[in-house]
Structure 1
C-alpha cells in the first residue's frame, strides 16, 4: 500500500472577471453614437426668396422687393482671363455689358460698388441684408483658376448670394465671341 499514488487535489481558484476591455468598448460605443447623432442632424442654409404672393396675384413673373433686375449681376468667364459682366437681364440690361479683368481695380471694384449701392437701397426700404445676386457662368474654354479667382472675388466683395451656372444663351455666347 505504500506504492499507491496520492490523490492530487486541484487547487480551487477564485474566478475573477476583468472588465477593462468592456469599459473601453463602452466608451468607444458612446463616442460613436454621440458622433452619429451629431452628424445625422439636418443641416440647412438660408435662401434668398422673393416675397410671397397669393395665387391670384401670380402672373408668371417673380416679384422681389427691389426688383430682381437691380440686384442681379451676371459674370461670363472665358479663356485668357476674359470676363464679361452685365447687370440685370441681358434683354433689358441696366448698363451695357462690360469687358473687365481680374484685379482690385476692375472686377472687384465693380462688385464692391454694386454691393454697397444695393445694400443702401435695401436699408432705405427697411429691409436690411439684401445684397447682390451674382450668376457666374464659366464657358467650356474657361480654366479652373479663373473660376477659383472669381469665387475669391465673391468672398472679398462680401457677396453671399451667388450661383455657378453652365448654361449660356445664344446672346451670351455672342458676347464672349466679340474680341
Structure 2
C-alpha cells in the first residue's frame, strides 16, 4: 500500500529560516504485480486460441470394383490447363491441346494473384457460355493443374486457393507432363543446377 514518509523540517543550517516539512510518498507495487499476473492468467485460460485452418480438398469416391469406369474423354476446348513453373510463373493453355500446332503461340504466362484469377474467370465464362451442362448438371469448365519439378509446394497451395476463390468445382491435379507439353514448355520447367 501507499506510505507517506516525512522528512526534514525545523531550522536550516544557520540561516535562521524555518523550512516546511517535505512529504514524500512511496507506493508499494507488489499488489499491482499480483493483479497483473492474475489478469494475464485469466485471459490465457479464458481465451480460445486460434485453431489451425486447413484446406478442404474433394477427392473421388473409392470404387468398389477394380475395373475402371468408362467415361467420356475431355475435350480440349473445355479445359484450362495450368502449368506451375519456377519463380511463381504460371503457364496457361486455354481451350487448346498441347499437341495442337497453335499451342506454342497460345501459351500464356501469368503470375499468381489477380492475373491468374482473371485468366480463370475469363476462361470459365467463355467455356460455360459456349457449352451446355452435362447429364448430371455439371458445368463444362474443367481445370487441369500440372505442377512441375521446378514449382514449389506453395505454388500448389496458391493454385488450389484460386480454385476455391473462383468457385471452380471441377479440377484435377496431374503430376506428369506429356511429350508435347514438355516440348512447348521447353526449358521453362526443366530443372537448372541452381534449382537443386
Bin of the TM-score, shorter chain as denominator length: 0.5 to 0.7
Structure-2 separation of matches of 1:178 and 1:72? 21
If each structure's strand is expressed as a fraction of its own residues, which one has the higher value? 2
1:5-154 correspondence to structure 2 within 5 Å:
44=61, 49-50=71-72, 62=73, 68-87=75-94, 88-92=96-100, 96-104=106-114, 106-123=115-132, 129-154=138-163
Q: What is the deviation of 1:169?
A: 2.1
Instruction: Determine the C-alpha separation between the residues in 2 that align with 1:172 and 1:148.
Output: 22
Render the CA deviation track for 1:13-36: whole Å, top value 9, x for unaligned: xxxxxxxxxxxxxxxxxxxxxxxx
| Contact 2:92–2:108 under 8 Å retained in 1 | yes
Q: What TM-score, normalized by structure 2, do the two folds share? A: 0.52
Residues in 2 aligned to 1:83 and 1:126: alpha-carbon distance in whole angstroms: 32
Count, aligned residues: 119
Q: Which residue of 2 aligns with 1:161?
A: 170
Q: Answer with 1 or 2: which has the greater Rg.
A: 2
In 2: Cα distance, 1:85 partner to 1:146 partner: 14
Looking at structure 1, the residues matched to 109 and 133 of structure 2 have their Cα atoms a distance apart, in angstroms, of 31
1: CA distance, partners of 2:155 / 2:133 = 35
The answer to whether the Cα contact below 8 Å between 2:83 and 2:147 also exists between their aligned partners in 1 is: yes
* CA-to-aligned-CA distance 1:84-123 (integer Å, 9 cap, x gap): 110221122577111111111x111011111122222234
Q: Is contact 2:80-2:142 (8 Å) kept?
A: yes
Q: Distance in 2 between matches of 1:119 and 1:83?
A: 23
Contact 1:119–1:128, Cα closer than 8 Å, also in 2:
no
1:37-94 Cα shifts (integer Å, max 9, x gaps): xxxxxx959x9x53xxxxxxxxxxx4x6xxx121111111122101111022112257
Structure-2 separation of matches of 1:145 and 1:75: 15
Confirm or deny: 8 A CA contact 1:73 1:85 kept in the other structure.
yes
Following superposition, the deviation at residue 164 of structure 1 comes to: 0.9
Q: Is the 8 A contact 1:84 1:176 kept in 2?
A: no
Tell me if structure 2 keeps the 8 A contact 1:77–1:84.
Answer: yes
For the structure 1 residues 147 and 178, does the alpha-carbon distance in structure 2 shift closer, same or farther, using more than 3 Å as the test?
closer
The question of whether the paired residues in 2 share the 8 Å contact of 1:119 and 1:129 is answered with no
1:177 aligns with 2:184: no
